[in-house]
Chain A
């Protein structure tokens, strides 16, 4: 019986080898896929077991983890949920994953960031659960509050920057939602709440979506003109009532078929002040695509996007095939696609003597013991225009608010510079309403962009007042220390 016994022994060896090979396939080859499978709640549930770091604005925790008695040991809370939802995002490892900073800063908040390794080693020895680091944001509560209040009832976005550093002072997107309800431990309730939310609530209009820019783009055309050295704010340019786009029978008119200067030539500063479409379309055509495109890209409209660390979609002026399209592009129509963040960057560049600072949202990173382990240093991103040109643009934009389309952004006792935009979307759909600006014009501490989707009015009617509220709130907070 020994011969078959040996064969049985070998067969057993083969069977066990099969087992071992299969285990290797699962635990090595397929391990990554299995680990990352959205249904695998292991890694995610593990995240609920450690104290996640807080997101802090001006000393107040806007996102924090509190211990619970339940199965999952920590619960994420957002004391001012809707106010900061566009920044924090939500924390839903159980169902939808994370968004916003909860996602982009996850390494620090969860404690897996290498900069926290030393602390984690310490935790290993002391037996404490590893805790995550905290992130301190650049946001200014007053500005954020004013922005969200200003946007109440509309779909829109506000971005406010400190033009000198690039620090984000306000990042608002409406309508908002309560992130706490998406971060609970109850998957059914999370799904229920989420089902009530639409794209409008869940997308961050300030950074994720790009829109027709309308007349705020004229600032870039003006910059391109001034940068040539052939133009000054006083240079007169043609400002006809109707412009027939070259090579077409398409006519271009001014807002509400109004006249810029009775059909006569107009100075550059006046053309910007009344936001003359025909003048800027012709100016853009005269300057040529290359100058317009170069200037737009220098201002950041290079289609590349940014990380602040939230992802900012890339803005672009799009492809231009002929002068007719260039004319439309020059008034911010056609394929111009801009995020409100990009709009704020344009205002901030002019405000900061022509130097564009990299926008950032995280001021510092703290270890669990609150020791600062990383402090963001302001960084220069580009210098699209000289400080002379910036000064000329400031003069022109101040005129817009003082006596032009942006009057409703004016604040008594403060020089505000700005530019309105009313972008046509399509037939039968209300225009997008824009305003970009900064203040105080002589020594700006805030640059702001306001976007109201399909606002139904003009940038000057709808968006400029919101910008004023944000600037006022900011100046008041600054004044109050």
Chain B
């Protein structure tokens, strides 16, 4: 382990840019200790004794982050040091909650769904493999720009697969988002999201000058030319199609939101935001008028208690959990988070709020905020336009998703089907988000890496050591 000052690469480069890898290591150590402690607390509180699996878990989880750290240290030495620790705490907390809900389910009996925590740990491992693969393969994020149209096609195909498949394979709880084969189910939309963000970034960086062209001014807004509305309309139509054919309000909202924000960042034209909002409002109105499931969501959001036995059951139970948790929470293992349906996936934030209280839940929100703001900071300091847009898109995707999901769980927004990144049970989401973080790490490495390793300044003659001249 080498400190910033003794990092051979840094001193060789002769710059003062620290890699901050030791900061990351210390924070990762904290995250791992936090996770293991939380797991122990759950075991002791709920079952009264430590389960033998806790040793395996501890070793496995530690190994996971040691590997992640070493890979970053070797192949992305200048990466932002806060990204991984935030993810490590969130994934660890998620694993702990899922483990806790596993135990609750086994105690309740009858409706036990088996052990989900080990499966989730396996998914985290696969996610980490993807993380490593991305860092190894994508040595320079700019190479992704060359694949933009391939990725766009891939993204659209992934997005379309569940809609094309028969409902028996793709439908869960009314939303057609899945590919279920054997015991596994995959949500291709999670991967499509990243592919599309890469495409958006490449496309927008290419077309930004054209898209920024103004035709006329209306109310201080510089409106784009009519013929340039094509891309935003296309994104809108794709979003609506997702809503119609997959009945997935969340993904639809997510995709469109990301595209509009990236368009705004690329062109610096606020008029795109206004146009985006208008399109959103139109889409939302249409969806409310045309689709029963959207109407139900909105109605239960407006007055969940009026539908407490029907559509509002989840949100009402979630609110009860949060309210009962109060400031400090019931303590890990002390609440009844299993009373909220699908607490492991969609409503894991409610479980955290119930057992860790307001403080725990706000800590989780702040962790996301740090993750997102570090990503946006990367976007600010990275030099190339593609990297900027990509980092902004990826960061905003996390922010938007967290806002929509947590807003839904806490009754601020209507419920959507999105998962909570890193926390929630679900392989696709976890693996895809590991890929997303890998890209952010890669870009942040490029952003902070001293530009073109400057040649070592020739030593002044007086200070120059006596050199042995070699052949």
**Within 8 Å CB of A1, what residues of B?**
265-266, 268, 385, 388-389, 392
Please report the C-alpha to C-alpha distance between residue A3 and residue B388 in the assembled complex, in whole angstroms. Answer: 12
Stretch from B166-174, B354-362, B441-449 forming part of the interface with A: B354-362
Number of interface residues of A (CB under 8 A): 38
A372 to B25, CA, bound (A): 57
Which of A5, A16, A23 sits near B368, CB closer than 8 Å? A16
Given A23-B410, A27-B322, A16–B389 Cβ distance below 8 Å? Answer: no
Partner of A19, one of B266, B395, B407: B407
Task: Judge if B458 is at the interface, Cβ distance under 8 Å.
Answer: no
Please measure, in the bound complex, the distance between the C-alpha atom of A37 and the C-alpha atom of B323, giving whole angstroms: 10
A234 close to B (CB within 8 Å) = no
- Distance of B312 from chain A, by nearest CB (Å): 11
B326 with A35: CB separation less than 8 A: yes
At the interface, yes or no: B122 with Cβ under 8 Å from chain A?
no
Q: B295 within 8 Å of A by Cβ?
A: no
Query: Main SS of chain B's interface residues?
Result: helix
Query: Which of these binds chain B: A42-50, A334-342, A409-417, A465-473?
Result: A42-50
The interface residues of chain B lying within 8 Å CB-to-CB of A35 are 320, 323-324, 326
Say whether, besides A1-B268, A8-B261, A16 and B365 are in contact (CB < 8 Å). yes
B229-271 residues with Cβ-Cβ distance < 8 A to A are: 261, 264-266, 268
A71 at the A/B interface (Cβ < 8 Å)? yes
Interface string of B104-124 (1 = CB under 8 A from A): 000111100000000000000
- Whether A12 sits at the interface, judged by CB under 8 Å, is yes
A66 proximal to B (CB < 8 A): no
B264-303: contact bitstring with A at CB < 8 Å (1 yes, 0 no)? 1110100000000000000000000000000000000000
A28 within 8 A of B: yes
Q: Which residues of B contact A23 (CB under 8 A)?
A: 322, 353, 358, 361-362, 365, 410
A371 adjacent to chain B (CB < 8 Å): no
Residues of B within 8 A of A70 (CB): 109
Q: What is the CA–CA distance of A41 and B316 in the complex, to the nearest angstrom?
A: 12
A386 at the interface (CB under 8 A from B): no
Q: Which of B87-95, B213-221, B373-381, B430-438 contacts A (4 or more CB under 8 A)?
A: B373-381
User: B412 near A19 (CB under 8 angstroms)?
Assistant: yes
Neighbour of B410 across the interface among A3, A16, A26, A71, CB < 8 A = A26
Per-residue CB proximity of A21-37 to B under 8 Å, as 1/0?
01110111011111101
Q: Which of B266, B323, B365, B410 contacts A31 (CB 8 A)?
A: B323
By the criterion CB–CB under 8 Å, are A46 and B353 in contact?
no
Cβ contact within 8 Å between A12 and B322: no
- The A-contacting residues of B in range 397-413, CB under 8 angstroms, are 399, 402-403, 406-407, 410-412
Set of chain B residues within 8 Å of A32, measured between Cβ atoms: 323
> How long is the Cα–Cα vector from A43 to B336 in the complex, in angstroms?
9
Question: In whole angstroms, what is the CA distance A387 to B291 when docked?
Answer: 83
**A20-B324 in contact (CB<8A):** no
In the complex with contacts A12-B376, A20-B362, A23-B322, A28-B327 CB distance below 8 A: yes
Q: A5-B265, A5-B380 are in contact. Are A39 and B407 (CB under 8 A)?
A: no
Chain B residues whose C-beta falls within 8 Å of the C-beta of A27 in the assembled complex: 322-323, 325-327, 353, 357-358, 361
Kindly identify which residue among B366, B368, B376 contacts A8, using a CB–CB cutoff of 8 Å.
B376
Q: How far is the CB of B68 from chain A (nearest CB, A)?
A: 25
The listed residue (A12, A18, A46) touching B336 by CB distance below 8 A is: A46
**CB-CB under 8 A for A40 and B324, given A15-B399, A22-B410, A27-B357:** yes
For the complex, give the distance between the alpha carbons of A37 and B399 in Å.
33
The total number of A-B Cβ pairs within 8 Å is 138
**B403 with A34: CB separation less than 8 A:** no
**Minimal beta-carbon separation of B104 from chain A (angstroms):** 10
Q: Which residues of B contact A46 (CB under 8 A)?
A: 336
Q: Is B59 interfacial (CB-CB < 8 Å)?
A: no
Please report the C-alpha to C-alpha distance between residue A13 and residue B399 in the assembled complex, in whole angstroms.
9
A8 touches B265 (CB 8 A): yes
B335 at the binding interface (Cβ < 8 Å): yes
Q: Which residue of B lies closest to A6 (CB)?
A: B380
B131 at the A/B interface (Cβ < 8 Å)?
no
CB proximity to B under 8 Å, residues A44-66: 45-46
B residues 184-213 near A (Cβ < 8 Å) are none
Indicate if B372 sits at the interface (CB-CB under 8 A): yes
Whole-angstrom CA separation of A13 from B261 in the bound complex = 15
Q: Is A4 an interface residue (CB 8 A)?
A: yes
Contact of B412 among A18, A31, A37 (CB under 8 A): A18
Contact A26 B336 (CB under 8 A): no
The interface bits of chain B over 340-369 (1 if a CB of A lies within 8 angstroms of the residue's CB, else 0) are 000000000000010001100110011011
Q: Which residues of B contact A127 (CB under 8 A)?
A: 44, 48
With an 8 A cutoff between CB atoms, is B97 at the interface? no
Say yes or no: is A476 at the interface (Cβ < 8 Å to chain B).
no
How many angstroms between the C-alpha atoms of A40 and B357 in the bound complex? Answer: 17
- Residue-wise, chain A 111-125 has the 8 Å CB interface mask toward B (1 for contact) of 000000000000000
Most chain B CB atoms below 10 A, which of A5, A19, A27, A70? A27
The answer for the CA separation of A26 and B261 in the assembled complex, in Å, is 30
In whole angstroms, how far apart are the Cα atoms of A5 and B396 in the complex? 10
Q: Is the CB of A34 within 8 A of B412?
A: no
Does A264 interact with chain B (Cβ within 8 Å)? Answer: no
Q: Is B321's CB within 8 Å of the partner chain A? A: yes
Please name all residues of chain A whose beta carbon is closer than 8 Å to the beta carbon of B412 when the two chains form the complex: 18-19, 22
For A37, list chain B residues within 8 Å (CB): 320, 323
Mark interface residues in B77-103 (1 if CB within 8 Å of A CB, else 0): 000000000000000000000000000
Q: What are 19 residue pairs bridging A and B, where the CB atoms are less than 8 Å apart in the complex?
A: A1-B268, A1-B385, A5-B379, A5-B380, A6-B380, A8-B396, A9-B376, A9-B380, A12-B372, A16-B366, A18-B403, A20-B366, A23-B361, A27-B357, A31-B323, A35-B323, A42-B335, A42-B339, A71-B110
Taking Cβ atoms with an 8 Å cutoff, the residues of B that contact A are: 44, 48, 107-110, 261, 264-266, 268, 305, 308, 316, 319-327, 335-336, 339, 353, 357-358, 361-362, 365-366, 368-369, 372-373, 376-377, 379-380, 385, 388-389, 392, 395-396, 399, 402-403, 406-407, 410-412
Q: Which 7 A-B pairs have the closest CB atoms?
A: A34-B323, A27-B358, A40-B320, A9-B376, A12-B399, A31-B323, A22-B412
Known: A9-B380, A26-B322. 11 other contacts (CB 8 A): A12-B372, A12-B395, A24-B362, A28-B358, A30-B323, A31-B324, A35-B323, A35-B326, A41-B339, A70-B109, A127-B44
